[in-house]
Amino acid sequence: MTAQRGSEPGAGAPEVVGTRTTDPAAGRAAPDAATTAPTRDTAPPPRAARPRWAIPHGLDVAAGLAWRVVLIAAAVATLIYVAGTLSVVLVPVVLALILASLLAPEAHLMSSRVRWLPHAVATAVVIIAGLAVVGGVFTGVVYAFISGLPDLTSAFTSSLSEIQNWVRTGPLGLNNQQFAQLGDQILAGIQQSQATIAASALGAVGTVGELFTEGLLALFTLIFLIHDGGAIWRFLLRGVPRTVRDRADVAGRRAFASLVGYTRAIVVVAFIDAVTAGLGLWLIGVPLAVPLAALIFFGAFIPTLGAVISGAVAALVALVSGGITDALLVVLLLLAVQNLEGYILQPLFLGKSIKLHPLAVVLPIACGLVVAGIPGALLAVPLVTVIDNGVRSLTRPSDADVDPATVNPLDPRSARPEFGADPVVNVAPPGEH
């Protein structure tokens, strides 16, 4: 490198040689600023040699995903186990919540329109009226079943005679002795299963007592959900962090609004299905048309699975009473009713805001059936509807600035994404006065 001189030799000025400064007075070399400041051309320190036993990156990622999946699966399994263990309590509470979504708007409307009527009295009137309607429907169904049972019994007897004649003269070609032996074998099997039948009868008696207890718990919970729903919801919100409490309030209100809309719509759809199917069964001449229509009504609350079960029972009764022709007519009638429901009634009453994918309907029904039997299958879809709308509201960016007071939990429009921007009347949750 070339040497640079700042002045003439002997003038006392430091002499710069290369990258070091020579100070004659000090008699030693001082470090230059260029040597102390870091330079961009400085190479990074060499990386440590990777040990031979290091885990490959792909295996590391797979292991991380594996233990997370196992942890989530364990949490889900624990939740299902707890839900199955406490199903005797959870099923009545969820049923009461669904009934509250159907009756709470009427109780609030009654107490808000009639200023002198206390909310407790409106709650009592709505619950008594609801119980009277449900009791009247069940009474009518049982009476129609009892009145139509003799006709069905005679039709079943004639069908057995036809089956007996077919067994003797049909492709099987059994003679009287072989037919008698077949009957004796069937009778012996029935006698051997008498103990099982008796145990099942005792289990049915216990089930009736359990259902009565669960019904009382559901009624007790329903009363307080309608009367003090707002206070209960505010108490639950205290467990949410204050920074996200308003967001959780909006999500909860919209989830309950979606439940209100779903319950109203499914009741209307089920009623239309039952009336249409019952009228068609009566025109075809199928006995027990009213009980079968009631079965179709309750089956409509379990999408897909309920229609299959109720339709199979109706077709079987038609087959026993009127033969293959009536059974085929009933199958065609029920297919027409299902198409009416799927293409007209559900889009009209349910809309797009609470519409679920078919896979999101079948899988929860199957899980509910495994965990809690028929009540679990009945309550699975409403729960999925509530969770779906609540999660959508929590993850929707536009809901971050929505005022909870502008969301009416008793109005199904609150489940819509654009509801927060609409001018609405502030209506308190059930029990909030």
Reading the block at residue 153, the tokens are 């019994």
Burial status of residue 314 (CB atoms within 10 A of its CB: 0-12, 13-18, 19 or more): buried
Please report where in the chains the tokens 């590391």 appear, as a residue.
60
Q: State the average pLDDT over residues 275-287.
A: 88
Q: Mind listing the pLDDT tens digit for each residue in 394-417?
A: 888 887 788 888 888 887 777 766
- Enumerate the domain spans of the chain: 87-420
Q: How far apart are CA 265 and CA 305, in angstroms?
A: 18
Mean residue pLDDT across the chain: 75
Q: What is the DSSP string of 182-233?
A: HHHHHHHHHHHTHHHHHHHHHHHHHHHHHHHHHHHHHHHHHHHHHHHHHHHH
Q: Mind listing the pLDDT tens digit for each residue in 88-135?
A: 888 889 889 988 988 888 888 888 887 778 888 888 999 999 889 888
Least confident span in 4-13, 145-154, 230-239, 313-322: 4-13
Is residue 415 within 8 A of residue 354, CB to CB? The reply is: yes
Q: What is the rounded radius of gyration, in angstroms, for the C-alpha atoms of the chain?
A: 37
Residues 6+ apart with CB under 8 A from 23: 14, 29, 30
Share of the chain above pLDDT 70, in %: 69
Q: How far apart are CA 241 and CA 248, in angstroms?
A: 9
- The pLDDT value recorded for residue 68 is 95
Residue 42 phi, psi (nearest 5): -70, 130
**Distances in whole angstroms, Cα of residue 209 to Cα of each of 134, 216, 370:** 19, 11, 22
- The pLDDT value recorded for residue 213 is 85
Q: Apex CA 37: angle with CA 31 and CA 39, to 5°?
A: 125
Please report where in the chains the tokens 């007592």 appear, as a residue.
209
Q: How far apart are CA 235 and CA 223, in angstroms?
A: 17
Asked if residue 209 has pLDDT above 90, the reply is: no
Of the candidates 357, 292, 349, 361, the one whose C-alpha atom is nearest the C-alpha of residue 320 is 292
**Distances in whole angstroms, Cα of residue 395 to Cα of each of 34, 173, 339, 366:** 55, 69, 34, 27
Q: What is the DSSP string of 79-116?
A: HHHHHHHTHHHHHHHHHHHHHHHHHHHHHHHHHHHSTT
pTM for this model (two decimals): 0.67
Name the band, by pLDDT with cuts 50, 70 and 90, for residue 212: confident
- The pLDDT value recorded for residue 72 is 94
Q: Please give the order of strands across the beta sheet that includes 28-31.
A: 4-5, 15-17, 20-23, 28-31
Asked if residue 61 has pLDDT above 60, the reply is: yes
Residue 341 phi, psi (nearest 5): -70, -45
Burial status of residue 405 (CB atoms within 10 A of its CB: 0-12, 13-18, 19 or more): middle
Q: Mind listing the pLDDT tens digit for each residue in 167-203?
A: 666 665 555 565 566 655 665 665 555 555 455 544 5
155 versus 334: which is more confidently predicted?
334
245 versus 371: which is more confidently predicted?
245
Q: Mind listing the pLDDT tens digit for each residue in 34-59?
A: 445 555 555 555 555 555 667 888 88
Asked if residue 76 has pLDDT above 60, the reply is: yes
Highest mean pLDDT among 65-69, 365-369, 383-387, 423-427: 65-69
Least confident span in 44-48, 142-146, 246-250: 44-48
Share of the chain above pLDDT 90, in %: 7
Q: Apex CA 38: angle with CA 32 and CA 39, to 5°?
A: 100
Of the candidates 283, 385, 406, the one whose C-alpha atom is nearest the C-alpha of residue 333 is 283
- The pLDDT value recorded for residue 423 is 36
- How many CA within 13 A on the CB side of residue 317? 25
